[in-house]
Structure 1
Amino acid sequence: MFTRGVQSNIGMGLGVLIFSVAMGALLAVVFCAVYGRANLSARAVAALTAGGMLVSLWIVPALKYPPNPPAVSLEETIQQRTLLYLLLVVLSAGLFVGSVLLVRRLMPKLGVWNASLAGIADYVVSMAVVFLILPGIHETPSSFPADDLYQFRLYSLGTQVVIWATIGLVFGALAAKVLEDKRASVAA
């Protein structure tokens, strides 16, 4: 339908923009659920939420099923790979939320530092079990240049870091402005 040139220029930019807006909306929902419960500033909550979403929605799933360049993988495995990847994203996000809730529950008994370490350990062990249960997929042809694959995966990671950092910082600044204005008007 579109040429490769259009896909790699306008299409890629539009795709990143649409993805970023969708993830920003998801961050807004999570922020609203977390902000009142956390004893942190709006900027800190937005930054921590964006960081947690980057880890749980992209970095950890990419460790098991890393991104590949278009048209490199076997076409007959695309449905299986997509379903397994989406399952892993859902499990990772759910287990991440569970670990955060565990931290909140353990904080009164263990303190912030030890509860945080327990939550991190819980998430790491839980994800290790998930990684062992889910099948590995090795569909990239051995003849594909390893340097190209490495560069693609590195650029994919860089793109996600930029997207999530931008979402977290911009949302945090805007949320802080709105919430500080509300606080000032309530105090007056």
Structure 2
Amino acid sequence: MGRAGLTSDRVVEACLELADDSGFENLTISLAARHFGVRPASLYSHVKDLRDLKTRMALRALEELSARAAGELAGRSGADALAALGEVYRGYAHEHPGRFAAARFPLDTDTARASAGGYQSRLIASLLRAYDLPESEHVHAVRLLGSTFLGYVTLEQSGGFSHSEPGSDLSWRRVIDALDVTLRNWPPSPPTP
């Protein structure tokens, strides 16, 4: 039996906070145990192992990100919705870098399908309806948006844009504008062989 008051949810929440402070990649069972003032073995009654802990953290981070996106996208469409979605990802990454990293932890196929990540994809697909893209192109557009947001935020967090002018905020707005233009002028699907 674990320490009184220690639950799986408390362990996950505390580890998300630790990840924000120390980095998701630096999280270990030992670090979590030290945080609670228990031996590592005490945590194993709440999580199976480090992979289980990180999977639970990923699922929680995906839920948080999806809830933010849903709230910000409500009532918006087109360029306004695109900018709001981009700000959700960028804001979450800046406020919670460890949680943002957790949201990218690789999940097995069944867990990924049951996660809030699928809800995020559906939110983005609904945003794409304003751009009149054929449904067969949605997966490509979702991947474009996801990779652009992730790439920009990752480079920004690592200091990749801090050595030149203009500042990254202006470039971010230009990236969102360019994505809007791209979505409005999506190339036709190539013929299938």
Q: Same fold (TM over 0.5)?
A: no
- Greater relative contact order (CA < 8 Å, ≥ 6 in sequence): 1
Using the size of structure 2 for normalisation, the TM-score is 0.30
Q: TM-score, normalised by structure 1?
A: 0.30
Which structure is higher in helix share?
1
